[in-house]
């Protein structure tokens, strides 16, 4: 690897310790509705009076957003850039504002990371549940087709979307002719029903409960477990997979989608950083390597088949041993 100059090294270190500042600017702008107000050119006074914010504070925020490439400035007027228009306005199919609101609700817990590391206990308390579930939809809607394209659906008539959240994957499976049961907590199902109704997708049934303690149904051809296991310990994950095995028909399949880490748990960066999110938010969660997940599948009575690396996640397929 090329040796870095002192300047480059200092810049790298500084980028790391200031990393929270641009993030905070975006979270605050998203909370205040800055982008929605700047669909067209507006002056500072107009913006701060519409947002009911201080003029100096607003000016400095807007200037920082220009430097981040989210606003443009011309003759003391501001407007969203094409990047912000695509991802930060509600009207866009690519909208990411809910997951950004969710990140804001993680902020407090993350700022107590020192305590989480000292105690090993979660520091998050008042998470905004609605932005969490809507945020899952923001993320999943951008990749759902690619993910479902990689799930073998031949012969699959019924599926359980375990911890299906906003129902993004349930809807895509239903569109492909699968009868789907979305299992999640009652408060999540209330939100999922709204999203699914708005999308006018049919063929989805709902089951409310806690999948670690309540029955999850049986006789499914496929169980899809997306972004669930990272919130649980190894022991609990194995218990969940054993329960899933019993819910499948003979010869049925399971597909696990997860963020992943290398066997040493140190790369890629997102997998290692997301483990910290689980430290802050759960008592036992972390990210796992694909081989750890495959091992649990084997122990739970599955023959593991192919696995597929996508950009951020891995899909691991399992089939009940004959």
Ligand X SMILES: C[S@@+](CC[C@H](N)C(=O)[O-])C[C@H]1O[C@@H](n2cnc3c(N)ncnc32)[C@H](O)[C@@H]1O
- The answer to the question of residue 26 lying near ligand X (CB under 6 A) is no
Tokens at residue 182, please?
């979305």
Q: Which stretch binds ligand X (CB under 6 A): 54-62, 85-93, 163-171, 291-299?
A: 163-171
> Which residue, 185 or 308, has its beta carbon nearer to ligand X?
185
Of these, 104, 184, 221, 258, which contacts ligand X (CB under 6 A)? 184
- Rg (alpha carbons) of the chain, rounded to whole number: 22
- The answer to the question of residue 185 lying near ligand X (CB under 6 A) is yes
- Residue 229 gets which letter from DSSP? G
Residues 89 and 202: their CA atoms lie apart, in Å, by 28
- The answer to the question of residue 67 lying near ligand X (CB under 6 A) is no
> Which residue, 76 or 125, has its beta carbon nearer to ligand X?
125
Of these, 109, 122, 135, 163, which contacts ligand X (CB under 6 A)? 163
Considering the complex, what minimum distance in angstroms separates the CB of residue 153 from ligand X? 17
> What residues are paired with 183 via a beta bridge?
162, 207
Candidates 180, 166, 32; CA nearest to 100 is 32
- The answer to the question of residue 188 lying near ligand X (CB under 6 A) is yes
> Which residue, 274 or 302, has its beta carbon nearer to ligand X?
274
Residues 158 and 247: their CA atoms lie apart, in Å, by 12
Considering the complex, what minimum distance in angstroms separates the CB of residue 123 from ligand X? 19
> What residues are paired with 4 via a beta bridge?
none
Q: Tell me the CA end-to-end span of the chain in Å, nearest whole number.
A: 49
Q: Which stretch binds ligand X (CB under 6 A): 64-72, 221-229, 242-250, 293-301?
A: 221-229
Considering the complex, what minimum distance in angstroms separates the CB of residue 144 from ligand X? 9
Of these, 227, 281, 304, 307, which contacts ligand X (CB under 6 A)? 227
Cβ atoms 252, 316 nearer than 8 A:
no
Of these, 140, 178, 279, 293, which contacts ligand X (CB under 6 A)? 140
Q: Which stretch binds ligand X (CB under 6 A): 102-110, 220-228, 271-279, 314-322?
A: 220-228
Residues 132 and 136: their CA atoms lie apart, in Å, by 6
Q: Which stretch binds ligand X (CB under 6 A): 52-60, 224-232, 290-298, 303-311?
A: 224-232
Residues 237 and 82: their CA atoms lie apart, in Å, by 42
| Secondary structure string (H, E, C) spanning 30-82 | HHHCHHHHCCCCEEHHHHHHHHCCCHHHHHHHHHHHHHCCCEEEECCEEEECH
Q: Which stretch binds ligand X (CB under 6 A): 90-98, 206-214, 267-275, 279-287?
A: 206-214
Residues 107 and 20: their CA atoms lie apart, in Å, by 10
Of these, 25, 29, 64, 136, which contacts ligand X (CB under 6 A)? 136
Q: In a 3-state reduction of DSSP, which class is residue 214? A: coil
> Which residue, 105 or 226, has its beta carbon nearer to ligand X?
226
Cβ atoms 183, 205 nearer than 8 A:
no
- The answer to the question of residue 122 lying near ligand X (CB under 6 A) is no
Report whether the peptide linkage leading into residue 268 is cis, meaning its omega lies within 30 degrees of zero: yes
Of these, 97, 109, 122, 165, which contacts ligand X (CB under 6 A)? 165
- Residues near ligand X, by CB under 6 A: 133, 136, 140, 163-165, 168, 184-185, 188, 210-212, 226-228, 231
């Amino acid at each position: 690897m090329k040796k870095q100059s002192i300047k480059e090294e200092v810049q790298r270190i500084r980028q790391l310790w200031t990393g929270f500042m641009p993030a905070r600017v975006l979270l605050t702008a998203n909370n205040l509705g800055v982008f929605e107000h700047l669909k067209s050119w507006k002056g500072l006074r107009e913006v701060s009076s519409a947002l009911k914010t201080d003029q100096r504070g607003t000016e400095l925020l807007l200037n920082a957003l220009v430097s981040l490439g989210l606003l443009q400035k011309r003759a003391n007027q501001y407007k969203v850039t094409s990047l912000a228009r695509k991802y930060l306005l509600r009207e866009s199919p690519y909208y990411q504002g809910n997951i950004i609101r969710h990140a804001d609700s993680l902020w407090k817990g993350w700022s107590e990371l020192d305590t989480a590391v000292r105690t090993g206990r979660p520091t998050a308390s008042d998470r905004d549940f609605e932005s969490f579930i809507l945020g899952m939809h923001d993320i999943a809607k951008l990749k759902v087709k690619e993910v479902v394209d990689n799930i073998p659906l031949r012969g699959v008539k019924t599926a359980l979307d375990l911890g299906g959240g906003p129902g993004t994957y349930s809807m895509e499976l239903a569109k492909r002719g699968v009868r789907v049961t979305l299992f999640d907590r009652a408060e999540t199902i209330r939100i999922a029903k709204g999203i699914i109704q708005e999308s006018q997708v049919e063929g989805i049934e709902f089951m409310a409960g806690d999948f670690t303690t309540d029955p999850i149904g049986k006789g499914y051809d496929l169980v899809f477990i997306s972004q669930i296991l990272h919130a649980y310990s190894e022991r609990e994950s194995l218990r969940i997979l054993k329960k899933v095995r019993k819910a499948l028909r003979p010869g049925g399949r399971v597909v696990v989608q997860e963020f992943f880490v290398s066997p040493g748990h140190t790369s890629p960066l997102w997998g290692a950083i997301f483990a910290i999110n689980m430290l802050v938010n759960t008592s036992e969660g972390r990210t796992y390597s694909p081989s750890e997940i495959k091992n649990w599948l084997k122990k739970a009575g599955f023959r593991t088949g192919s696995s597929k690396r996508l950009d951020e996640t891995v899909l691991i397929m399992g089939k009940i041993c004959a």
